[in-house]
Structure 1
Amino acid sequence: MHYLPFHRYYRHLASPKYFYIWANRLIPWLKRIGLLLTTVGLVWGLAIAPTDYQQGDSYRIIFIHVPSAWMSLFIYMIIASCGAIALIWRVKIAEIIASVSAPMGASFTFLALVTGSLWGKPMWGAWWVWDARLTSELVLLFLYLGYMALESAIEDPRQAARAAGILALVGIVDLPIIHYSVEWWNTLHQGPTVTKFGAPSIYWGMLIPLLIMAIAFMVYYAAFALFRTQSEILERERKSEWVKRIISS
């Protein structure tokens, strides 16, 4: 079997044509895996997992809230990383991935805030409190919205990607604030139960469906991001011969 050297493989994958072909093969598998994991995670989390002895069944919202919050941070890291790659090496695929990821990141952040409010009402007696983690997560939503607004305000996509990439890199300072806010400040938000050092302080029957849902959200993001990247590639490379062949076939 013939293997490409790493630098040649990198250049190969960074080519819009070969990235499109690679994504076309991967997307159907990601859709199937994502559907399976989501079904298993939701059924296990909402119907099979035991009732919490303190919070009752209201805790079950964590199977949506926690993976959404994780994804809000994960996708922003993807955007900032792609922004850095685009700024340094001018890789077009990195620009596109960052661009198509921003709406999904904003959606996950909004979902985390909404589900957090739904959980907070029975736990804290209020839909919203200016808790350190909630406030910093809200700032993250504004960063996503600012990224998309800046990108849409600049007509040239390459210049828009560079400007938005700088904003993403500046905004990355909010991520450690979100992650460590519960430890740094006196906050109402529940402390870490899964990511803390040592054994997670959560029953395995709750932990496993939570992790399944987290993986399902990641797979969903990957499938949708690849699909949107394909669409953007076709739009930007529409004058290329290989794109004309795909459209005409």
Structure 2
Amino acid sequence: MLSIRTTYTADAGAPRTGRWLRYAAPQAFFPLAGRAIPWLLAAALLLSAIGLYIGLFAAPTDFQQGDAYRIIFVHVPAAWLSMLIYVAMAFWAAVGLVLNTRLSSMMASALAPTGALFTFLALWTGALWGKPTWGAWWVWDARLTSELILLFLYIGFMALQAAISDPRRADRAGAVLALVGVVNVPVIYFSVQWWNTLHQGSSISLRSAPTMATLMLQGMLIMTLALWAYAIAATLQRLRAIVLERERHTDWVQRYVTEQR
């Protein structure tokens, strides 16, 4: 790892903005991501333990849904992240498409599986919540349907990239699909306002005070941070694997692989 870390020491006196921009190169970002992953995973484990304790034991029972509501401590953060990760994926794909930066396109590819995971988790926990609440595992509700479309968009993005052997062409095709599909994100978010749906409205809004108990809100926000930390760690780990695969013919990757043996 020494050869990787010392490659850019010559610009130590460069302006601060220039020092940050150097991390746009896969060779410079690779070791930085490796150092961040253990800290992010530790934060995810700690925050998950705290958040689940609050959600499952400390938070009060809901007067309407009883204890069935406790699924929201996983469902709601997963749903938030499913949309946020898609927007991030589309952003990095667009940056790679417009600026032709390799790391940006790699980041978009690394985000897709994690986003698909959280989308599936949101749908699955939503079904567990819907059975005691609505009396059905699934209804073709506007929010549920648009969230299902989001899962198909993630899968389509990954399948399209996997079907094209040339990484550059795969990145461009995936970027177009990601940018077209981003219109589905506001549909998911505003679906309960635009249509008469079974899905309840948002309990947290930037324009009004939360409608849930303070302890419930604290548990949900802590779980959101926990899943966020995990999502970043998983994405960075996958990004490192993509970098090694695409840069395998470079000298620095060959030196790194040799040092790991």
- Normalization by structure 2: what TM-score? 0.92
The structural deviation recorded for 1:10 is 4.5
Q: Which residue of 2 aligns with 1:65?
A: 75
Aligned AA for 1:216? A
1:191 corresponds to: 201
C-alpha displacement at 1:86, in angstroms?
Answer: 0.4
**Is residue 205 of structure 1 aligned with residue 215 of structure 2?**
yes
**1:49-75 alpha-carbon deviations (Å, 9 max, x no partner):** 111111110000001110110011011
The alpha-carbon deviation at position 180 of structure 1 amounts to 0.4
- Cα distance in structure 1, aligned partners of 2:15 and 2:197: 50
1-side partners of 2:146 and 2:120: how far apart?
13
SS in 1 for 2:197: coil
SS class of match (1:99): helix
Higher mean C-alpha displacement, 9-18 vs 92-101: 9-18
1:128-149 deviations in whole A, cap 9, x for unaligned? 1111111111111111111111
Tell me, in whole angstroms, the C-alpha distance in 1 between the residues paired with 2:147 and 2:36: 32
Residue 179 of structure 1 corresponds to which residue in structure 2? Answer: 189
Which residue number in structure 2 is paired with residue 146 of structure 1? 156
Letter in 1 for 2:125: T
Compute the TM-score of the two structures, normalised by the length of structure 1: 0.96
In structure 2, do the counterparts of structure 1 residues 4 and 132 end up closer, same or farther at CA, with 3 Å as the change threshold?
farther
| Farther-moved stretch of structure 1 (229-238 vs 217-226) | 229-238
User: Any idea what SS the aligned residue of 1:43 has?
Assistant: helix
Residue in 2 that maps onto 1:47: 57
**1:248, distance to aligned residue in structure 2 (A):** 1.1
Instruction: Please tell me whether residue 82 in structure 1 is matched to residue 113 in structure 2.
Output: no
Equivalent position of 1:239 in the other structure: 249
Aligned to 2:29: 19
Render the CA deviation track for 1:110-167: whole Å, top value 9, x for unaligned.
1111111111111111111111111111111111111111111100111101100010
In the alignment, does 2:68 pair up with 1:31?
no
Asked if 1:215 is matched to 2:235, the reply is no
Q: How far, CA to CA, are the matches of 2:171 and 2:187 in structure 1?
A: 25
Question: Which segments of 5 or more consecutive residues in structure 2 lack a partner in the other structure?
Answer: 1-11
Q: How does 1:121-136 map to 2 (within 5 A)?
A: 121-136=131-146
Q: CA deviation at 1:247?
A: 1.1
Identical residues among aligned pairs (%)? 52
Q: Hey, what's the Cα distance between the residues in 2 that align with 1:220 and 1:48?
A: 23
2:136 corresponds to which letter in structure 1? A
SS of residue in 2 equivalent to 1:193? coil
Query: Runs (4+) of structure 1 moved beyond 4 Å?
Result: none
Amino acid at match of 1:66: V
Q: CA RMSD in A?
A: 1.3
Q: Residues 4 and 31 (structure 1 numbering): CA distance in 2 closer, same or farther, change over 3 Å?
A: farther
Structure 1 partner of 2:112: 102
Which amino acid in the other structure matches residue 182 of structure 1?
A: V
Whole-Å separation in 2 of the counterparts to 1:103 and 1:70: 16
1:5 and 2:12 correspond: no
Kindly provide the CA deviation profile for residues 174-208 of structure 1, in whole angstroms up to 9, marking residues without a partner as x. 01100000011111111011125121111111000
What CA distance in whole angstroms lies between the structure 2 residues aligned with 1:50 and 1:229? 40
Structure 1: tracts of 5 or more residues without a match = none
Letter in 1 for 2:181: G
d(CA) in 1 for partners of 2:255, 2:25: 17
Question: 2: distance between equivalents of 1:6 and 1:211?
Answer: 33
- Partner Cα distance (2:159, 2:252) in 1: 32
Aligned partners of 1:64, 1:79: CA distance in 2, in Å?
22
Q: Could you say what secondary structure the match of 1:128 adopts?
A: coil
Whole-angstrom CA distance in 1 between matches of 2:81 and 2:89: 12
Residues of 1 paired with 2:237 and 2:180: CA distance? 28
